[in-house]
Structure 1
């Protein structure tokens, strides 16, 4: 059944079908709530949930291309978040489009992000309590959502992929980006500064312990974030230039990479390097 839906949607989008434009308007997104009282309640788009805890940080997690809300990024992040803090976690599932080719998934980024922004507004979540986290194309989706909402406290982009629609530092009061796979033509990540603080673990490519190609280094972005919630502070040094970052000669002030702090104060360059070990907690 799912394959049939994907095929029909893919053909419709490819042919420029007007009905596909409506389908691309994020209507296939699904949203699931987790906190210390609720584990996996599917939220309605237009109905405000009474189970969202008021007055605490709400973390929104958006997967990337070929992912779902059940892939490792989502359960690992929410598990560690709920162990360490009293928060709401909303997992976004846009797997209908994420399962398509990269170009078709990328074409859906704008509408999925806009739909997410409307959903969050409908839930009456105060933007200043929001931390939006996105991996791969999901980084650009949360950028669109933050841009449309306005006033979002923090966005974290996890190895944002190459896209014409991009996360920007103006999308939230504080935007943090973790780059882990930015070297080479076949790399998954985007080697461009996008945030107030751009972190380049081990220089931003070829992560220690990764011998199986680019996907391992790409996934380290969210693995480092998971580790930062409880097991590792990841104190990174400010780099004055990208050349210092590449040569591992950064000696500037420290800033912690990851975690769930809503506001940080990076150095003027916004470039940071931290060196990690090859296995968890890195």
Structure 2
């Protein structure tokens, strides 16, 4: 009888998957030539191959701080000893960074944005690796939705383990990751302070997208509205250069799309992007904006209470800001 019980117990635990710790990732300096254009793709133009994505297994989380700015410390939900041995500081602000479709934790987006955040502020930066689910496929949006719930669960665990509350969190997402950032924020216990969508995906046919109440303050930076959608969806929506055909890019979708995170990174390290409020979407798209109110774009801190559509123009090359 005892042997039977032992065998049953052994078999039960044998089918529970072990929690594996991902290998660290190493960020290389950002290539000034910009992202690989093959990595910036419209989800409806490339159906790609699809494979089974399990966010419980395939979402990975990598911590960067000023003490480890280039080599990550992987974190695993539930492994409090791993968290306590890391550089994560529950007394500091935390930014969660989410790549887009066909992205990866060491892609150009992360190479640009993570160092900029750490240069601007001494905080925890966690990039979400959901690259397996982000593979271009007919299921990619559903996989983003599924993944987002687990990212929110990871943040809820961090708050429980460290005593932080939702005010300590900023969530930044690029492209499809911008839509996903909204979904993550929606499922965090309490309301995060700042949700920023960098040229987030939004199409009229989609049943749900970013909403102003996803966080205490929500903002979008729009740079490729021809491919990603143009409707205002946040507290403050910035239509940079009218939201498309940015100087230095012309009609190149990949170049225009990537400008969103390049502008955001520069807003952290140099500031200077000032938008002028527009009375309508059409005015924001054409740059015909002469309302008296202005608002700084991007940056570290939420502009809680700010509302509206804003237009600003940039230079063709870095530094992009005109002041």
Q: TM-score, normalised by structure 2?
A: 0.75
Q: Could you tell me whether the CA contact under 8 Å between 2:242 and 2:311 is conserved in 1?
A: yes
1:205-216 correspondence runs (5 A): 205-211=244-250, 213-216=252-255
Secondary structure in 1 matching 2:170? strand
Size of the aligned set, in residue pairs, is: 257
CA contact (8 A) 1:202 1:276 kept: yes
Asked whether the 8 Å contact 2:231–2:281 carries over to 1, the reply is: no
Residue 110 of structure 2 corresponds to residue 78 of structure 1: no
Per-residue CA distance 1:110-142 (angstroms, 9 max, x = gap): 111100000011112421011100011101111
- Choose which of 266, 269, 273 in structure 2 pairs with 1:230: 269
Instruction: Determine which of 203, 217, 223 is the counterpart of 1:180.
Output: 223
- Runs of 4 or more, structure 1, over 3 Å off, are 23-26
CA contact (8 A) 1:31 1:43 kept: yes
Gapped regions of structure 2 (runs ≥ 5)? 1-48
Aligned to 2:176: 137
Correspondences of 1:190-209 after superposition (within 5 Å): 190-209=229-248
List alignment gaps of at least 5 residues for structure 1.
1-8, 12-19
Residues 1:27 and 2:57 are matched in the alignment: yes
Deviation (angstroms), 1:55: 2.3
Offset at 1:77? Answer: 0.9
Question: Matches of 1:233 and 1:92 in 2, distance apart?
Answer: 29
Asked if the contact 1:27–1:115 (Cα under 8 Å) also holds between the matched residues in 2, the reply is no
Distance verdict in 2 for CA 1:241–1:162, change over 3 Å: closer
Q: Which residue of 2 aligns with 1:6?
A: none
CA distance in 2, matches of 1:52, 1:83: 17
1:217-244, Cα deviation, whole Å (9 max, x unpaired):
0110011001101123201001111232
- Tell me, in whole angstroms, the C-alpha distance in 2 between the residues paired with 1:213 and 1:247: 19
Distance 1:194 1:119 in 2: 26
Q: CA-to-partner distance for each residue in 1:88-112, whole Å, 9 max, x for gaps?
A: 10011100011232x3211111111
Could you report, residue by residue, the CA deviation over 1:172-224 in whole angstroms, capped at 9, with x for unpaired residues? 010000111112xxx2x121111000000011011110046211101100110
Paired residue secondary structure (1:220): helix
Deviation (angstroms), 1:254: 1.1
SS of the equivalent of 1:107 reads helix
Matched-pair contact (CA < 8 Å) for 2:216–2:304: no
Scaled by the length of structure 1, what TM-score is found?
A: 0.86
Asked if the contact 1:153–1:263 (Cα under 8 Å) also holds between the matched residues in 2, the reply is no
Report the alpha carbon displacement of residue 36 of structure 1 after superposing the two structures with TM.
Answer: 1.6
Partner SS, residue 27 of structure 1: helix
1:45 CA drift (Å): 1.7
Q: Is the 8 A contact 2:98 2:172 kept in 1?
A: yes
CA change 1:26–1:192 in 2 (3 A) is farther
Note closer, same or farther for the CA distance 1:243–1:100 as it changes in structure 2 (3 Å cut).
Answer: closer
C-alpha distance in 2 between matches for 1:71 and 1:192: 28
